[in-house]
Amino acid sequence: MKILVTGGCGFIGSHFIRRLLMEGNNDKIKIINMDKLTYAGNPNNLKDVKSDKRYKFIKADICGRRAVEKCMKGTDIIVHFAAETHVDRSIIDAGSFVRTDVLGTCVLLESARKAGVEKFVHISTDEVYGSVEKGRFRENDAVMPNSPYAASKAGGELLARSYFVTHGLPVVIVRSSNNYGPFQHPEKFIPHSITNLLRGRNIRIYGNGSNIRDWLFVKDNCAALETVMKKGKPGESYNVGGGHEKTNIDAARKIADIMGMRDCIEFVRDRKGHDFRYALNWKKTAALGWKPETGFDSGLAGTVKWYRENEWWWKPLVS
């Protein structure tokens, strides 16, 4: 089986590739990792598997039709991670998000249609739903994105759905909650907080820190993605949550406590359009045989430990 992974040098994509190569009996798979290697794509994320004969890396942009069609030849399954993902950056430069997350997705979908792939797994985000004060979003709830990033991801997944309805392309969509863990770029909240403290700086919190996120350890997310890849029904969407809702200030305090630096938190001006709370109902994914296994405290402690021990990886990425 040939699996094309886009954005495989990114945070979640690299963990997913490592899972497929290192867990279970997967001797007969071949993984093609297609990545443009933007600032968020780091070859060091897969340093330990680059010599595996089942793995091949190709540097290419998903917006490039010829490169995509070349990579798509013989592909059985495509798992599409490649995207611009940082909300703060999308507020400053929405155009690059539309190009990658919408146009790039369109190029992939059309190429996959022509190639006759068996399944197209589109990786999306809980942010497409917008904010919810009470309850949890279900897969059939309307998408109401509030940031340019979330809007670009919603646009990409709506295109994916249209290719299922119009062309019969076997698309499944996965919407995951906030991931954390090793190899996450230091621009994101948890690694940003950890690496700031490691450099003697404060954790910076938007507003008053009351915004709520559901935290999902990256390895649990990748287990869910593999489950949906194998068992998900074409034309359906699947939510993946961690079951660990925390306010931003509570998450920051946990990080500070682990690192013995409780007084190193400061509040800054809130972000434009800052969603208050994300929350997902993921019973549909659980029905496929998946559940998260990592507690937030243990996952966070392990993540802090990893950043402490791997300065070689993150220091070149921070200023």
* Residue 39 annotated in active site: no
Average pLDDT over residues 164-177: 98
313, two tokens: 């990886």
- The answer on 140 and 261 residing in a single domain is no
- The answer on 66 and 189 residing in a single domain is no
The identity of residue 102, as a single letter, is V
* Per-residue pLDDT, 262: 78
> Is 44 domain-assigned?
yes
Judge whether residue 212 has pLDDT over 70. yes
> Is 280 domain-assigned?
no
- The answer on 185 and 170 residing in a single domain is no
Judge whether residue 200 has pLDDT over 80. yes
* Per-residue pLDDT, 224: 98
* Per-residue pLDDT, 265: 95
> Is 279 domain-assigned?
no
Judge whether residue 113 has pLDDT over 80. yes
Using N-to-C axis directions, what is the helix angle for 296-309 and 248-258, rounded to 10°?
Answer: 50
- The answer on 67 and 11 residing in a single domain is yes
What's 264's domain CATH number?
3.90.25.10
Q: What is the dihedral of CA 313, 315, 317, 319, to 10 degrees?
A: 180
Q: Are 73 and 44 in contact (CB under 8 A)?
A: no
Which one of the listed residues 149, 180, 278, 307 is annotated catalytic? 149
Which one of the listed residues 84, 101, 110, 126 is annotated catalytic? 126
- The answer on 298 and 249 residing in a single domain is yes
Lowest-pLDDT range of 14-28, 144-158, 171-185: 14-28
* Residue 238 annotated in active site: no
* Per-residue pLDDT, 202: 97
Using N-to-C axis directions, what is the helix angle for 218-231 and 11-22, rounded to 10°?
Answer: 70
Q: Are 193 and 155 in contact (CB under 8 A)?
A: no
Which one of the listed residues 84, 127, 157, 226 is annotated catalytic? 127
Side-chain-side CA neighbours of residue 199 (13 Å): 17
* Residue 48 annotated in active site: no
52, two tokens: 């595996």
> Is 196 domain-assigned?
yes
> Is 288 domain-assigned?
no
- The answer on 13 and 37 residing in a single domain is yes
Judge whether residue 319 has pLDDT over 80. no
- Its domain, for residue 111, covers 2-177+217-240
> Is 41 domain-assigned?
yes
- The answer on 208 and 155 residing in a single domain is no
- Give the chain's domain count: 2
Q: Are 9 and 20 in contact (CB under 8 A)?
A: no
The identity of residue 100, as a single letter, is T
Q: Tell me: the pLDDT tens digits for 74-90?
A: 999 999 999 999 999 99
Say what percent of the chain tops pLDDT 90: 97
CA distances from 45 to 97, 98, 252, 310 (A): 23, 26, 25, 12
- The answer on 162 and 63 residing in a single domain is yes
